[in-house]
């Protein structure tokens, strides 16, 4: 999970820095596309972190849903004792019903 977070964070930073560099270069050249690029950079400044957060949240939820909780050896012995007791009582019930 840590590796996924780092990769997504690095990709987001690279994308945003690239957008800012493009806007800066377009601003220096007085290109007519500067206003559109500036608006796109501002929108990406908000949208990219939100999307990264959403992907991490979904990965966390799906990751915990697929993992099974581990039982301690103490709980396993309790389960074994309970099933042994049930087997003994079910045999007793059969004998009593005859």
Q: What pLDDT is attached to residue 31?
A: 80
Task: Decide: pTM greater than 0.75.
Answer: no
Phi, psi of 33 (to 5 degrees): -85, 5
pLDDT tens-digit series, residues 43-74: 888 888 898 888 888 888 888 776 655 655 56
Query: CB atoms < 10 A from the CB of 27, how many?
Result: 13
Residue 76 lies in a domain: no
Q: What pLDDT is attached to residue 86?
A: 55
Which candidate, 55, 57, 61, places its Cα nearest to that of 8? Answer: 55
pLDDT tens-digit series, residues 71-94: 555 655 555 555 555 555 555 555
Residue 44 lies in a domain: yes
**What is the rounded CA–CA span in Å between residue 42 and residue 34?**
12
Residue 74 lies in a domain: no
Task: Count how many domains the chain has.
Answer: 1
Q: What pLDDT is attached to residue 16?
A: 83
Q: Which domain holds residue 38?
A: 1-63
* 26 half-sphere exposure, CB direction, 13 A CA radius: 17
% helix / strand / coil in the chain, to the nearest 5? Answer: 90, 0, 10
**What is the rounded CA–CA span in Å between residue 98 and residue 94?**
7
Q: What pLDDT is attached to residue 70?
A: 60
């Amino acid at each position: 999970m840590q590796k996924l977070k780092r990769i997504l964070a690095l990709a987001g930073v690279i994308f945003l820095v690239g957008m800012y560099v493009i806007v800066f270069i377009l601003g220096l050249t007085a290109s007519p596309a500067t206003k559109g690029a500036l608006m796109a950079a501002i929108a990406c400044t908000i949208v990219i972190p939100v999307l990264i957060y959403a992907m991490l949240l979904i990965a966390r939820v799906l990751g915990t849903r697929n993992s099974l909780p581990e039982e301690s050896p103490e709980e396993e012995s309790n389960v074994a004792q309970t099933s042994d007791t049930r087997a003994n009582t079910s045999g007793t019930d059969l004998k009593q019903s005859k």
